[in-house]
Amino acid sequence: MINKVMQTEIKSIIQELDEESHLDGKNIVVTGCSGFLGSWLCDILVNSNAHVIGIDNFASGKAGNISHLQNNPNFEFHKQDVKEFYTNQQKIDLIFHLASRASPEEYMQQPIETLEANSFGLNNMLDIAHKHDSILVYFSTSEIYGDAKIFPTQENYWGNVNPVGPRSCYDEGKRFGEALCKAYSKQYDMDVRIIRIFNTYGPRIRFDGPYGRAIPRFISQALANEPITVFGDGSQTRSFCYVTDLIKGIILFALKKEARNQIANLGNNNEITVLELAKKIIQLLDSKSEIIFKDLPEDDPKRRLPDISKIEDLIGWHPKIKLDEGIMSTTKWIQENNRSD
């Protein structure tokens, strides 16, 4: 699934990447390649003339996200569990490990598989990175901070996580994954980079069933003039980053020498309450939707606000896309792809 707006955005990202982000001819592995972020990453890399080895078992990704790449000579796809993947490539330059369920409702239904992707699956990819002397970028999450108590939240905050709660399969899975990355880095002198991603949205984010997160769910409901469902009283906050900003930051973080073995937050530092977000989407889409309130899920974080000064200093990155602009771009994509295939 790719439209003209996405094609333009992909070209723009490639043009903005500087000379230090040279990707031509590199062999790059992307686990979770058919997911929201993984498929965007593949598009940028393939169109930058890198050779991409994509791995996905479609546990939560969508085949349609990469269908347009299947006949591209720069793209090699393996329908496989990341725990079982191996490669005969003589050289792997870079590995992006994204494979994991990431939607709370869905990972709570599949807790074992979620934990395995961030333990056994990551362990397998770290072994491959060790063998090939590759850089590995681990896609961690703001969820490792749990219900944070310090804002803006810096990378040196240890977190406030319930280790046995309903979300622990994801939160603690990612925390273990970070520990495993640092262990490999220390024991084998490997370059392993950890990026902690905050709430991201944009074209290809799933809005159907348990995958529907706040922005795509609110947009879908507003377009149908259905009630917009806000959990709790809506006073909880999030900081939303548009996907093109995020992908650009990820690639720069992966390739800049200054980011070797670093851990960094990546997201937008503009905070908004969930209730304000719902009202904004109703206004932007001129919707007749009303707002209804449901019980707040257990252990749902009350606030999310990243300190992004470290990644600004490391790679000179800062988000550019305003929330209103990103919402309208996401709305157009949802309108064109209003199906659950």
Q: Look up residue 267 and give its two tokens.
A: 């997201």
Residue of 138, 145, 170, 242 with catalytic role: 170
Mark whether 170 is an active-site residue: yes
Q: Which residues of 123-160 are buried (b: 16+ CB within 10 A; e: fewer)?
A: ebbbebbbebebbbbbbbbbbbbbbbeeebbebebebe
Q: What are phi and psi of 112, to 5 degrees?
A: -70, -45
Distance between CA atoms of residues 30 and 13, nearest Å: 18
What residues are labeled active site? 170
